[in-house]
Amino acid sequence: MSELEKYLDRTFELAIKGKGFVSPNPMVGAVIVRDGQIISEGWHKEFGGPHAEVDALSRCKDARGATLYVNLAPCCHVGKTGACTDAIISAGIKKVVYSNSDPNPLVADKSKQILEDNGIEVTSGILENRGFELNRKYFHWIKTNQPYVTIKAALTLDGKIATSSYQSKWITGPSSRGFVHQLRKGYDAILVGANTVLYDDPNLGLHGLSGREPLRIILTSNKDKFHDLKDLTVFRDSNYVFVDSIQHFEEYCSNNAISSVFVEGGSGVITSFIKSGLVNDLYMFYGPKIIGSEHISVVSELGLPRLDDAYNFNIESVVNFGDSFMVKLSSK
Ligand code: AOF
Ligand code: ZN
């Protein structure tokens, strides 16, 4: 690892501390270095709070002549906080090194120019792929104004997510469940269908992990059937919303800055999302069981006559959880 990579690696470590707190903002970490010594560090801690660069500068008595490392290009707009480029210039920073440009149209490549116009040397594009992975959901959302959508399902080897009487506890064992709670922490919202709410009574929360509880979205064309069922766990507080179609879901996300959604089933919901083309990736957890064709498939009829019409995915990783295994896939 080069010197630049070493310090950017540290910015990634700091940035990730903001996971579950900063979205829809990106996770950002910053390190200030002089004469080969880290003299200050900071990170973006919560949505609406100080940016990483300002946080690091605020804990540094004298940053004159130092180099600032940050995983994302410093912003140059006044939003909920002041422009980072102003703070960097007035602190007397001599050099800025970052991994990724910020596709936010308010920033784009403008900040590089501003810094250079003020005599600051700028190096960009170092560890760009890792920086992209770290803020994959942010980059997708800011470029498309659509949420990053992940599907998660627990299924038998023959692709069933429940019996015909909606029994699904448990297809996979306990060892993958903690991992799922960790996954949920990275999303603004968790979405399920009406049957999942009725038959599983899921919690859809973080189970005590730190972070903001994700919004619970229920996709159903008949929300009235829940009128007398307010004792269900998903209605435990007001942090839930009903949407009645994929189109309404998209509108809701766009209007409410929902940048990422974790879709946990059931079959009807997963089918609608696969058809919509909105899916970015999937986590499929397989329990080593076979129950037969009379039960509920993870995806219902798609009406695809030929194999060539299939939806195709890339296998990103396969993880063994002992009593189950997970395949992570991304859309092609
Ligand atoms: C940075 N450093 O630590 C972060 C940045 O509403 P605001 O003022 O918080 O601005 C949010 C935007 O700022 C966000 O969409 C992204 O473009 C950038 N985030 N920029 O220089 C940071 N979190
Ligand atoms: Zn900023």
Judge whether residue 109 has pLDDT over 90: no
**In whole angstroms, how far apart are CA 284 and each of 176, 253, 264?**
11, 24, 10
What's the confidence (pLDDT) of residue 81? Answer: 87
What's the confidence (pLDDT) of residue 302? Answer: 95
Query: Mean per-residue pLDDT for 314-323?
Result: 96
Judge whether residue 230 has pLDDT over 90: no
Query: Mean per-residue pLDDT for 99-120?
Result: 93
What's the confidence (pLDDT) of residue 330? Answer: 97
Judge whether residue 76 has pLDDT over 90: yes
Catalytic residue among 3, 53, 250, 251: 53
Q: Rounded to 5 degrees, what angle do the CA atoms 155, 160, 163 make?
A: 115
Active site residue 316: no
Query: Mean per-residue pLDDT for 190-203?
Result: 93
- Strands 95-100, 121-124: pairing is parallel
Cβ(135) to ligand 1 under 6 A? no
State pTM to two decimals: 0.94
Mean of the per-residue pLDDT values of the chain = 95
Residue-wise pLDDT tens digits, 319-330:
999 999 999 999
Judge whether residue 210 has pLDDT over 90: no
Query: Mean per-residue pLDDT for 159-185?
Result: 91
Closest CA to ligand 1's atom 18: 75
From the alpha carbon of 79, which atom of ligand 1 is closest? 8
Query: Mean per-residue pLDDT for 220-233?
Result: 92
What's the confidence (pLDDT) of residue 229? Answer: 87
The Cα 107–Cα 77 span in angstroms is: 7
What's the confidence (pLDDT) of residue 214? Answer: 95
What's the confidence (pLDDT) of residue 235? Answer: 95
The Å distance, Cα 138 to ligand 2 centre, comes to 15
The Å distance, Cα 35 to ligand 1 centre, comes to 28
Instruction: Return the CA Rg of the chain.
Output: 23
**pLDDT band for position 238 (50/70/90)?**
very high
CB 215 within 8 A of CB 24: no
**pLDDT band for position 316 (50/70/90)?**
very high
Count CA atoms closer than 13 A to 155's CA, side-chain side: 24
